[in-house]
Structure 1
Amino acid sequence: MEHLESEGSRDDGPFGDLLRRLLSGVHTSPELATSLRTLLSGTPRLPLDHFYRLRSSGIITGESADAARLRCHLYQDYFTRHLNF
Structure 2
Amino acid sequence: MAKKTFETALARLEQITDELEDSELSLDASLKKFNEGIKLADYCSEQLTKARAKIELLLEKDGKLEAIPFDGTERGNKTISE
TM-score (norm 1): 0.25
TM-score (norm 2): 0.26
- Relative contact order: is structure 1 or structure 2 higher (C-alpha 8 Å, sep ≥ 6)? 1
More helix by percentage: 1
Structure with the greater alpha carbon radius of gyration: 2
